[in-house]
Structure 1
């Protein structure tokens, strides 16, 4: 099979993207997706996305983790797919699309800044040393000191594969408060390693960083791959609405290759 692909990145979270509005890539297998995302034997990416036709929406989003399995919602992926949709000719001021966790809307500022509306959150589990919530994907959030020197792979993997999470998996976010916002590093399930950034992860971290006041927040977020911003309204002790993940989404390159049909 000959594949025409595009490589995008959003704060270092990188993705292979294909225009599948004619259904030509519907038959991609888990092995093929895994191969395409492999950093030594393929293109290399944290995940793969298909831009699909979706009745009632401007497009549909289908997301695969780097291991080849279909994934839950990916925030940075959604932002990159919006930028790609614009490149493919969808020029509406506001784009509406359907992802695995439901409808989303998005706008763009300039050539590469994407504002993506996330799902409302009405449940947050709070333990003595952690938070656990779902922002389209499940996230464990732990506040730490010395985040720059933290062994995210080892500590994140221990939590992701503990007795509670081993079967379904969870993403694990380590967060440190800064003078202006938060610094977030994330171990992602499906990638099974630290990524440079995780959109649903920084969203989860930003929500847990909010104060006690039910008001509108704007949280700057630093990741290994760059800066993001999360805007939201806190409506109750553990409920949030009007959540927006905002940041850059850039085309890296495009190309063609032939992949095995097996």
Structure 2
């Protein structure tokens, strides 16, 4: 089978994207998807997405982790797929699509800046050592110091596979405040990839929500990741409730090409 693919990245979170609106790639197996995401023997990516047709929406987002298995919502992936949909001729001022966690809205600014509305959050587990919440995917958030030298892989993996989380898994985010910017620095261990990624959209969203003060008001939180800078905007409406959440940042085409699969 010959595959025509596109490679996109959003702050270093990279994806193989396929236009599957005619259904030609529906039969790809878990092993084939895993192979396409392999960085030595395939295209390479943190995940693979298919642009699909869905009645009532501009498109549907089908997301797979780099292990070849269907994944939950990916924020940077949603932004990249929106940019790809625009490239494929889906030109709307407000783009509406459906993903695994429900409907989303997105807008574009300039050539490569995408604003993505995330799902509302109405519950946050708080503990002296961590926060736990779902922003389309489950996220464990822990604040640390000296994050640049922190052992994200080792610490993140130990939490992801502990007794509580090992069956279903969780993404693990380590966060350091940046007081001068009134923002945060975030590094994430992602389940499904089973490694640290350069950026995680649902992860930085989760981290930004936990960084908000006690006041119920509108927040704009700058976020630094290994792959670049994002902005998370939202309304805090209660102690643990958040609405009108937007993940904003770049989404860029890296290259496109063809690859033959066995």
Question: So what's the TM-score if we normalise by structure 1?
Answer: 0.99
- 1:56-205 correspondence to structure 2 within 5 Å: 56-179=56-179, 180=181, 181-205=183-207
Which residue of 2 is the match for residue 18 of structure 1?
A: 18
Give aligned pairs, total: 260
Residues in 2 aligned to 1:148 and 1:65: alpha-carbon distance in whole angstroms: 26
CA distance in 2, matches of 1:74, 1:81: 10
CA shift for structure 1 position 254:
0.1
SS at match of 1:78: helix
* Residue deviations 1:134-179 (CA, integer Å, cap 9, x gap): 0000000000000000010000000000000000000000000002
Cα deviation per residue 1:153-207 (whole Å; 9 max; x = unaligned)? 0000000000000000000000000021000000000000000000000000000
Q: Does 1:230 align with 2:249?
A: no
Runs of 5+ consecutive residues of structure 1 not aligned to the other structure? none
User: Is the partner of 1:70 in helix, strand or coil?
Assistant: coil
Superposition RMSD in Å: 0.3
Match for residue 249 of structure 1?
A: 251
CA distance in 1, matches of 2:57, 2:105: 10
SS in 2 for 1:35: helix
2:140 match: secondary structure: strand
Per the TM alignment, residue 128 of structure 1 is displaced from its structure 2 partner at its CA by 1.0
Structure 1 runs of 4+ with >4 Å offset: none
How far is 1:64 from its partner?
A: 0.1
Unpaired runs of 5+ in structure 2?
none
Secondary structure in 2 matching 1:121: coil
Q: Measure, in 2, the Cα distance between the counterparts of 1:237 and 1:94.
A: 30
Give 1:19 deviation, angstroms.
0.4
User: TM (normalized to structure 2)?
Assistant: 0.99
For the residues of structure 2 that align with 1:130 and 1:145, how far apart are their CA atoms?
Answer: 14
SS at match of 2:207: helix
Q: Does 1:35 find its partner at 2:35? A: yes
Q: Deviations over 1:201-241 (max 9, x none)?
A: 00000000000000000000000000000000000000000
* Partner SS for 1:85: helix
